[in-house]
Amino acid sequence: MGPAFLDVTSSALGQRWVGRLDVAGDNAARAMVQAYGYDDALARVLAGRGVKPEAAEGYLHPKLRDLMPDPLQLLDMQAAVNRLAEAIEQRECVAIFGDYDVDGACSAALLAEYLQAMACPCLLYIPDRIFEGYGPNAEAMEKLRQDGAQLLVTVDCGTMSHEVLSGSLAKGLPTIVLDHHQAPEVLPQAIVVNPNRQDDVSGLGYLCAAGVVHLTLVALQRELGRRGWFADGSPQPDLIAALDLVALATVADVAALIKLNRAYVQRGLEVMAQRQRVGLAALADVARLHGPLRASHLGFALGPRINAGGRIGDAALGARLLMERDPLEATRIAGDLDRLNEERRRIEAATLDEAQAEAEAAQGGADLPAVIVTAADDWHPGVVGLVASRLRETFQRPAFAIAYRGATGTGSGRSVPGIDLGRAVREAVDAGLLMKGGGHAMAAGLTIKRDQLGAFRAWLERRFAGKMQQLHAAAHFEIDAAVTAGGLTPVLAQGLEAAGPFGAGNPEPVFVLADHYVVDALVLKDQHVKLRLRGPDRSMADAIAFRAYGRPLGSALLAARGARLHVAGALMHEIWQGRARVQLRIVDCASAES
């Protein structure tokens, strides 16, 4: 693990600080500075993510054509595009069944727009989260069949839907599954294109469903070209213009921002900047996003609003907005989603208060369980995933939130690195503890009978108690570099943006303002703590800790007014009233007085 950074062995959050770079990484960073003239902080960030000096330029400016794989590397991709090409040639009616989250909405819109451009009739179906639940259901399949569907394509779902898809096939409705969730050994009766199939060796398991759909469209367009579809000069659909949807889904679904995903997001943000998709432009306007969009805007502003329809409103609103071509209608739908998002915030806040109280009460003076499991009757099923995510952040361990209706509950779980929650949920299903469930390493969904809740909790404890002890014993907080208040400049922030987008798989850089004097500390909106800091060189900087008031971090910051502090955080770069502004978003701190 190496020596403690700035000798911090127990911060305000009880964390040991360590430098991200080992000796080899430090040498690589130094080489980037000397050979290529990179800023020292940027070089350390690149080296901390495993970038070699000779590969730095390609990493900072990834080219889609260099990173785009052959889509046929995905198992059964050729069978899928052959069947889709046949549907287009025969003008068959294709039904698209998508999940109700951002990834599902973007995936469905991607495929629907392509089929429409090829004059292929299609139906779009997004299930209701509360009344239909996740994935295909027999009633929806029958409705689509009666409405004329001749081919079903499920996007961001379907990998676990053995019984439903078998029933559809028996009634003459074959299925293509385009998904990315972890898969069982035995697949449903369908053409399944999923990089997380157990027998798929493409190495593309980091893609979200929209990424899988985009690769499918690349392969489909190539197959149609081989069949002479565009020989008469007919225009080919612009698959680059569709990358705004792939970028949005990739960030909102917390897919690893590595390899092809980095190029997808960077190129997709460039497409968004052109504001050609009126639905996204309208959504950015109601979210009051001004200036160039960043990856963080997709995850924290656009994504939650699209999700709001599926969580507490009309599940199809998000997909409709993404496909809308009328600016006035797009503005109306965006406004509806914005209002639903505000309502979602209120519901989430109330539910989170109850869930945290339950988790703390269940502790009863003892150690926390390895996995937090909370449940109640009156919770809204649409916010349990968000509540689980907050519980994970608060208690630093995997967490579930379950909403019961009668004898059955539906819930979501969010995990921490090192705990594969999707696999655990599938094992719990196999053990008879859950009615159904699945997901991926960091997130999972489940359906559980009320009388199995205690057994499920006990099973999780047996399964993960030892592992969580190991993870906590090895826990540390990685620092990229130390800077001064005067070093927090727009130039540094802009340079770091090229190393992004940051998120899952590409951690946001963490810098420390070392030994800075806390000139002032105050509370904003009864939630946040804002600091004014002065460095040893007399330079000044602003810093803020969001939602920290009343928590250990906020208390430590407020108590440090007039004292010297090591403050760790990430750079926030924004345009405010026409001027660039950089401040630190605080994530931890430690006393510098000793």
Band of residue 123 on the pLDDT scale cut at 50, 70, 90: very high
**Predicted pLDDT of residue 440:** 83
Mean pLDDT, range 285-293, rounded to an integer: 88
Mean pLDDT, range 279-285, rounded to an integer: 97
* Residue-by-residue DSSP string for 374-418: EEESS--GGGHHHHHHHHHHHHTS-EEEEEEETTEEEEEEE--TT
**Residues 6+ away with beta carbon under 8 Å from 522:** 529, 530
- Percent of the chain surpassing pLDDT 70: 98
Q: Please report how many Cα atoms fall inside a 13 Å half-sphere around the Cα of residue 112, on the Cβ side.
A: 24
Give the helix/strand (H/E) hosting 281. helix 278-286
Fold for the domain defined by 5-61+477-591? OB fold (Dihydrolipoamide Acetyltransferase, E2P) (2.40.50)
Domain ranges of the chain: 5-61+477-591, 67-274, 367-473
Sign of the dihedral defined by the CA atoms of residues 186, 189, 193, 194, in that order:
negative
Number of H helices, E strands in the chain: 21, 18
Q: 44-99: per-residue pLDDT in tens?
A: 999 999 999 999 988 988 889 999 999 999 999 999 999 999 999 999 999 999 99
| Domain 67-274 classification at class level | alpha beta
Sign of the dihedral defined by the CA atoms of residues 130, 136, 138, 143, in that order:
positive
Who wins on pLDDT, 593 or 455?
455
Classify residue 237 by burial, with Cβ atoms within 10 Å: 0-12, 13-18, 19+. middle
pLDDT exceeds 60 at position 364: no
Q: 292-306: per-residue pLDDT in tens?
A: 888 889 999 999 999
**Predicted pLDDT of residue 529:** 97
Hey, what amino acid is at 132?
Answer: E
Hey, what amino acid is at 490?
Answer: P
| Beta strands, E only, 6-144 | 17-19, 94-98, 122-125
What span, in angstroms and rounded, lies between the C-alpha atoms of 81 and 77?
A: 6
- Percent of the chain surpassing pLDDT 90: 78
Angle at the Cα of 309 from the Cα atoms of 308 and 311, rounded to 5 degrees = 60
3-state secondary structure of 373: strand
Mean pLDDT, range 138-149, rounded to an integer: 96
What span, in angstroms and rounded, lies between the C-alpha atoms of 148 and 404?
A: 36
Q: 338-359: per-residue pLDDT in tens?
A: 999 999 999 999 999 999 999 9
**Predicted pLDDT of residue 578:** 65
**Predicted pLDDT of residue 88:** 98
Decide if 266 contacts 295 (C-beta within 8 A): no
Residue length, the chain?
A: 594
* Residue-by-residue DSSP string for 520-540: EEEEETTTEEEEEEE-TTS-E
Q: 383-395: per-residue pLDDT in tens?
A: 999 999 999 988 8
Hey, what amino acid is at 264?
Answer: Y
**Predicted pLDDT of residue 576:** 65
Q: What's the whole-number average pLDDT of the chain?
A: 93
**Predicted pLDDT of residue 363:** 62
* Most confident of the following: 209-213, 312-316, 433-437, 573-577: 209-213
**Predicted pLDDT of residue 577:** 64
Of the candidates 29, 42, 24, the one whose C-alpha atom is nearest the C-alpha of residue 489 is 42
Give the helix/strand (H/E) hosting 144. helix 138-146
67-274 against 367-473: fold identical: no
**Predicted pLDDT of residue 152:** 98
pTM of the model: 0.87
Decide if 176 contacts 152 (C-beta within 8 A): yes
Q: 160-192: per-residue pLDDT in tens?
A: 999 999 999 999 999 999 999 989 899 999 999
Residue with tokens 């009126």: 278
**Predicted pLDDT of residue 67:** 94
**Predicted pLDDT of residue 438:** 86
**Residues 6+ away with beta carbon under 8 Å from 425:** 413, 434, 437, 438, 439, 444, 445, 446
| Domain 367-473 classification at class level | alpha beta
Q: 488-528: per-residue pLDDT in tens?
A: 988 888 888 888 888 878 889 999 999 999 999 999 999 99
